[in-house]
Structure 1
Amino acid sequence: MTLYKQILITILLLFAVLFVAAYSVQFSATRQYLAEQQYTNVVNTVTSLGLALTPYLETSDRVGAESVINAIFDGGFYREIRLDLLAADTRIVRENTAIPRQVPAWFMELELFDEVSHEAVLTSGWLQLGKLYVEGHPGPAYYKLWQGMSRLASWFVGCFLVTWLLLVLALRYLLKPLHQIQEQALEIELHHFGKTIPLPATRELRDVVVAINHMAGLLEEQFREQAQEAERLRQRAFLDETSGLGNRAYFVSQAASWRSEEMPGCVALVAVDILDKIHQEEGYAARDQMVRAVADNLQHICRRYDEFALARISATEYALLLPETEPDRLRALGSEINQSVSDLVVDPVEGLEVSAVGMALISRGDDIASLLTAADNSLNRARIAPERVALSVGQDGHGQIGRQVWKGMLERALTEHAFVLSAQAVLHFDGRRYHRELYIGLAEGSHRYGAGQFMPAVEQFRLGERLDLLVIELALARLAADPELTLAVNLTRQSCASESFFDKLATLLASREGLKPRLALDIPEIVFVQASEHLGQRLAALKLDWGIDHFGRHFDMLGKLSALRPHYVKIDHAYTSQVMADDYDDAFLAAVCRAAHNIGAVTIATRVESPEQLERLSRLHIDAYQGFISPVEAL
């Protein structure tokens, strides 16, 4: 029970005890007063009635005596008046046994008043004329007692309710700083450190608030320093300081992650040959300025794609990894890149070789070295080609399916709900299941296509919102059928940027509240690099668990974790796969895990392929894992 309730109940109980005590005293005093008043009234009535009857009894006037008795009986509240005429040996009796209607019967049955009566002998000199008996009726006493105590009880109850209301308002006001301290303690427990508590007026609480605010500030600063240190470690290993892009090691790791997912696409090498001329004629400063300008232009071009990798791999070359497979579109992209670089040259000389672009489509079985070699060969051909662009096409036909064909297949699958579902378990190192990640495939005849193959077409034709809503609907159906199942669904970048998607999703989930605790959303990291600031609020409004997928592909994301507050982060394969290298430095991966733990997020290693890799990961601060070691199961 909360302190607020304890104080409120204690004060109300004390007030109730005070009310009962005061009511009891008042009840007893009123009852005694009414009893004494009734006895006095009966005695006075016997005395006055005796004096009035004596003249009639002396003359034996029975009629006159009855008239006097009737007058007294009708004008008062008496149960019985009895006159015994001794000379005539007769009796005059008047009785009233009626009960007051205004008094409940149960109250009358309490017998709060004893019988009150008085008897006197009427004489004339030494002669006894008669015997007079008067018994009071308790009804008026019960009526007055009931009326008075009912009114008093009403006043007490009214005062009790008013006091209750005022006490609630007063305690809420007085205990508000304590409630804020409680909320801050819970926020700190959840690793939320940004909020400060206003200083209260209460002296005792003020010192506590100052201490908690100071502690929260220190924890927030510690978290920020850890995130910055992790970013420094990552930049030292993977950042090209001049351009602000990744370096060759970064590109190789991202390409390895890309290939592990068997995503189609191409590798492009952009040679900015004019950089050497600028260096010779204008010096390092001008060359570095041109390097940064080219990097900005390439980043702007790459952002149109859902996933990409961009790096500066040598003094004059940039490498791009893009989910584009159509030769015509790639050649147009190469020409656009050359034009964007040429536009940066001030006073260009006719015939000056500014840049060239060599591209190689990704084929099944290609490793990073062979892809870079093919792209480099294309680059050499591009330097002598009139359009300064060359493309090397793979041998297995990854890009043979055109975008329009993909569109037709996807439209048909969306209409017929023809996607194939499977799931891969995310496991803790002790064997407990965290959740299962839902995968979708597309079956066309005897061929089965993975999501990586058709997702570029989904993004190009703006089908992401329809696809995500359908997959979530299918996932909810599986959850309803299996109470033990917990699923994580990947969202596309298009859905994450759409307000209408979240409105439709909220409507879809409204009738399935019981399933929401077993549904999670995987959000690609690039969304948080480019998405609006309201995405976190939209996700929080859904009241679902959600996490960041491919975490670590982009720079400066660690510093955003504190504001985003995901429930889990799935660390990119580019980092978890490197633990098997003999010279692997786990400092960055450990820093990522510490930063995630500081906000209460679960860290998940992806693409774990062997028991040896799993054993090495278990020594780090990772909480769970998934990969080929945890096979995919059909749903």
Structure 2
Amino acid sequence: MTLYRQILVTMLLLFAVLFVTAYTVQFNSTRQYLAEQQYTNVVNTVTSLGLALTPYLETSDSVGAESVINAIFDGGFYRKVQLDLLAADSHIVREHSGQPRQVPAWFMDLQLFDEVSHEAVLTSGWLQLGKLYVEGHPGPAYYELWRGMSKLASWFVVCFIVTWLLLVAALRFLLKPLSLIRQQAKEIELHHFGKSIPVPATRELKDVVVAINNMAGMLEVQFREQADEAERLRQRAFLDETSGLGNRAYFVSQASSWISEGIQGSVALVAVDILEKVYQDEGFSSRDRMVRAIAENLQRICKRYGDYTLARISADEYAILLPETDGERLLALGNEINQSVSELIVNPVGGAELSVIGMVVISRGDTVSGLLTAADNALNKARMRQDGGIVVEQDKVEGAIGRLAWKQLVENAIRTDSFALSVQKVMNFTGETFHRELYVGMESDGVKYSAGQFMPVVEQFKLGVELDMHILRQALQMLAADAALKLAINLTKQSCASSTFWRQAGELLQQYRPVLSRLAFELPESLFVNHPEVVNEYIGQLDVAWGIDHFGRHFDMLGKLSMLRPSYVKIDHAYTSQVMEEHYDDAFLAAVCRAAHNIGALTIATRVESRDQVDRLSRLHIDAYQGFISPIEPLG
């Protein structure tokens, strides 16, 4: 029971005891007063009636005596009035045994009043004329006691209710600082270092609130320092300071992760040869400003693809990894890049090409070094043309499915429910299953396709909402059918940024509330770079756990982690795949894990392939892992 309820119940019990005590005292005193009043009334009645009857008894006028008795009996409330006439040896008796209608029978049955009666002998001198007996009726006493005590009880009940309401209001006001302290303690327990608690006027609580505010502030500063430290470690290893982009090591690690996931795309090398001329004519500062301006333009152009990797890999070369395989669209992209570079040059050198581009489409079995070599060969071909031409290596895409054909395959799979679902376990280091990640594939004409092959088309043709709703509906049905199943579903970037998807998903989830504790959504890290409002505006309203996939691909995400508050983060393969290298520095990975743990999020390593890698990761503050060490299994 809460302190608020304990105090409220205690005070109400004390008031109840006070009310009952006061009521009991008042009840007994009233009853005693009415009993004494009844006795006095009976005695007075006997005395006055005796005086009135004596003249009639002296003359033996029984009719007059009877009329006097009738008058007294009708004018009062007596149970019995009896006159014994001694001379005539007769009796005059009047009785009334009725009960007052306003008093409940059960109250009369309590026998609160004793029988009250009085007897007197009527004389004239030494002569006894008769004997008078009067017995009082308790009805009026019961009526007065019932009426008075009922009214008093009503007032006591009203006062008790009013006191209750006043206590509730007073305690809520007085204990509000304690409630805020409790909420803040829970927030700190969950590693949420939010706003400070208002300092109350109560002296005892004031010191506690100040201490908690200081502690929360210190923890928030500590978290930010750790996040900043992790970012500094990462930037030291992967950031090109001049352009603000990733360096060659960053591009290689991201490309390795990309290729390992089987995602279709292209690698482009952009050589800005004019940078050397700018350096020779205007010096380092002008060249560096040009480097940064080109980087900003490339980021603006590439942002339309959502997932992309952009890096500066040498003094005058930029490398781009993006989910595009169509030759015509790649040529259009290259022309746009060249145009953006030319617009930055105020006085271009006549006859000289400002930038040249070489592109190569990723195919199965490629390696990062092979792709860079092929892109560099395409770049040399572009230079040899001496007209700024863009060379796209087309031999790698021969026989590939066109985008419209991909679109038809996906739409047909949604319409006919021909997706092949599979799962891969996410396990902790004690061997327990954390959850299973759901993978989506499809098959057409005997050929199997992975999600990495058709997802770029899904994003391009805005099929994400339709696809995700279809998969979510199937996943919920499976969760309802298997009480031991826990699933994590990857959402497309289009769905994550779509209010339509979240509205439809919310309506669907309401139909499966019992299984929501076994469901999790995985959102790509790139979503929070372009649409950070998704968490507060959409997913925060659903009662579903969620995590960030491919965490670590983008710079400055560690600083945003405390505002996002995911349930878990899946660290990008680019970092966890290097743990087995001889001179691997785990400082950045450890810093990422500390930052995640500080906000209560679990850390999951991806693409784990061997038991040795599992053993190494278990010593690096990782909570769980998944990969080829746990094979993908069909679902359903």
What residue is the counterpart of 2:393 in the other structure? 392
Aligned to 1:471: 471
Whole-Å Cα distance in 2 between the matches of residues 112 and 447 of structure 1? 98
Q: Following the alignment from structure 2 to structure 1, what is the Cα–Cα distance between the partners of residues 613 and 455?
A: 29
How far apart are 1:532 and its partner, in Å? 4.3
8 Å Cα contact 2:81-2:95 kept in structure 1: yes
Q: Which residue of 2 aligns with 1:107?
A: 107
1:6 partnered with 2:15 = no
Query: Aligned to 1:352, what secondary structure does the other structure show?
Result: coil
Determine if contact 2:307/2:323 at 8 Å carries over to the other structure: yes
User: Is the partner of 2:295 in helix, strand or coil?
Assistant: helix
Cα offsets for 1:551-584 (capped at 9, x unmatched)? 0000000000011111100000000000011010
- What's 2:622 paired with? 622
| 2-structure distance, mates of 1:74, 1:421 | 99
> Alignment partner of 1:434: what SS?
strand
AA at the equivalent of 1:622: I
CA distance in structure 2 between the partners assigned to 1:203 and 1:431 by the alignment: 52
1:537: Cα distance to partner? Answer: 3.4
1:437 and 1:488 in contact (8 A); partners too: yes
Q: What's 2:339 paired with?
A: 339
SS of aligned partner of 1:621: coil
* Partner-residue secondary structure (3-state), 1:303: helix
Structure 2 distance, partners of 1:537, 1:576, is: 32
Q: Are the counterparts in 2 of residues 497 and 532 from structure 1 also a CA contact under 8 Å?
A: no
CA distance in 2, matches of 1:600, 1:153: 55
Distance in structure 1 (CA, Å) of the matches to 2:542 and 2:351: 58
Alignment of 1:125-204 (within 5 A): 125-204=125-204
Residues 272 and 356 in structure 1, CA contact (< 8 A), matched pair in contact too: yes
Taking the aligned partners of 1:566 and 1:287, their CA distance within structure 2 comes to: 41
| TM-score, normalisation: structure 2 | 0.98
Deviations 1:297-352 (A, max 9, x none): 11111111131111111111111111111111111211111111111111213311
Is 2:601 the counterpart of 1:601?
A: yes
Match of 1:283 in 2: 283
Using the TM superposition, give the Cα deviation of residue 586 of structure 1 relative to its aligned residue in structure 2, in angstroms. 0.2
Q: How does 1:105-504 map to 2 (within 5 A)?
A: 105-385=105-385, 386-395=387-396, 397=398, 400-504=400-504
CA contact (8 A) 1:52 1:68 kept: yes
**8 Å Cα contact 2:118/2:135 also seen in 1:** yes
Distance, in Å, in 2 between the alignment partners of 1:18 and 1:323 is 79
Contact 1:423–1:437, Cα closer than 8 Å, also in 2: yes
Q: Which moved more, 1:14-23 or 1:506-515?
A: 506-515
Question: Once the 2 structures are TM-superposed, how far is the Cα of residue 394 of structure 1 from its aligned partner?
Answer: 4.7
The residue identity in structure 2 corresponding to 1:40 is T
Separation of aligned partners in 2, 1:53 and 1:609:
122
User: Is the 1:269–1:357 contact (alpha carbons within 8 Å) kept by the matching residues of 2?
Assistant: yes
Distance 1:529 1:229 in 2: 20
Query: RMSD of the TM alignment (CA)?
Result: 1.1
How many Å separate the matches in 1 of 2:584 and 2:565?
29
The answer to whether the 8 A contact 1:306-1:456 is kept is no
SS in 2 for 1:164: helix
- Is 1:378–1:392's contact at 8 Å kept on the other side of the alignment? yes
What CA distance in whole angstroms lies between the structure 1 residues aligned with 2:250 and 2:27?
Answer: 89
Amino acid at match of 2:232: R
Letter of the aligned partner of 2:128 in structure 1? Q
- CA displacement 1:114-148 (0-9 Å, x = unmatched): 00000011111111111111000000000000000
Unaligned 5+ segments in structure 1 are none
**1:22 aligns to 2:14 (yes or no):** no
Letter of the structure 2 residue corresponding to residue 49 of structure 1: L
- SS of structure 2 residue aligned to 1:23: helix
Secondary structure, aligned partner of 1:158: helix
| Comparing 381-390 and 139-148, the one that deviates more | 381-390
Inter-partner Cα distance in structure 2 for 1:267 and 1:395: 12
Aligned-partner residue type, residue 188 of structure 1: I
Aligned residues: 634
SS in 1 for 2:579: helix
Give the share of equivalent positions with the same residue, in percent: 70
1:120 aligns to what SS in structure 2? strand
Report deviation, 1:396. Answer: 7.1
Counterparts of 1:362 and 1:609, CA distance in 2: 23
Between the aligned partners of 1:301 and 1:496, the Cα distance in structure 2 is 22
Separation (CA, whole Å) in 2 of partners of 1:607 and 1:393: 30
Aligned letter for 1:578?
A: Q
Q: Distance in 1 between matches of 2:262 and 2:55?
A: 131
TM-score between both structures, scaled by the size of structure 1: 0.98
